[in-house]
Amino acid sequence: MYEVELKVRADHPTVRERLDELGADHVESRRQVDTYYNAPHRVFAETDEALRIRREEPADGAAVTKLTYKGPLVERESKTREEHETVVADDDALAGILDGLGFEPAATVEKDRVFYALEGYTITLDSVAGLGEFIEIEQEADESELEAVREGAVGLLSKVGLEADEQIRTSYLGLLLAVEG
């Protein structure tokens, strides 16, 4: 499976109006605060790994903390990575464990996400602290469907009044580090 993903900057009030007109379903809203860690024995930027504590607050539910490890790309074409994630009960204890082992918080990405569903795509309106407002259009696809799904995403983007050639391929973490750097 491949993940087709388009991300561009977007003015949310304008986009929300268009999504309503198009009949998009609001699925859920969620606040995510991600803390990315540095390792004491590796430079993750060089090894292409990531270690993250995600604190997630659904609009209508209890906060959840997750620990995630992303390994380097194992398959370049599909951007496949080894990824392991588990829910953790006590986020302070988890931060204490990482600190004790010599891992250090490197950057925090704080965002409010509103999820919509339309024409089989997941559309996410992200407000990212320090970066601004974005829209992401996503769908999973087999290799044979890749081109069609990608064209569908471009079409959907243009229906909400945005251009695919403004596409941003850098992660929010990467954008933030560039701003701060």
Least Å distance, CB 26 to a copy of itself, is 28
Interaction pattern, residues 131-160, with a copy of itself; x per rule: CB under 8 A: ------------------------------
Least Å distance, CB 32 to a copy of itself, is 18
Least Å distance, CB 68 to a copy of itself, is 8
Helix (H, G, I), strand (E, B) or coil at 177: helix
Q: d(Cα 115, Cα 121) in Å, to the nearest integer?
A: 10
Q: Which H or E element spans position 173? A: helix 172-180
Which residue, 136, 116, 117, is CA-closest to 126?
Answer: 136
Which residue, 56, 84, 44, 65, is CA-closest to 171?
Answer: 44
User: Does residue 106 belong to the site contacting a copy of itself (CB under 8 A)?
Assistant: no
- As annotated, the active-site residues are 36
Residues that bind a copy of itself (CB under 8 A): 39-42, 49, 51, 67-69, 71, 82, 84-91, 93-94, 96-97, 100-102
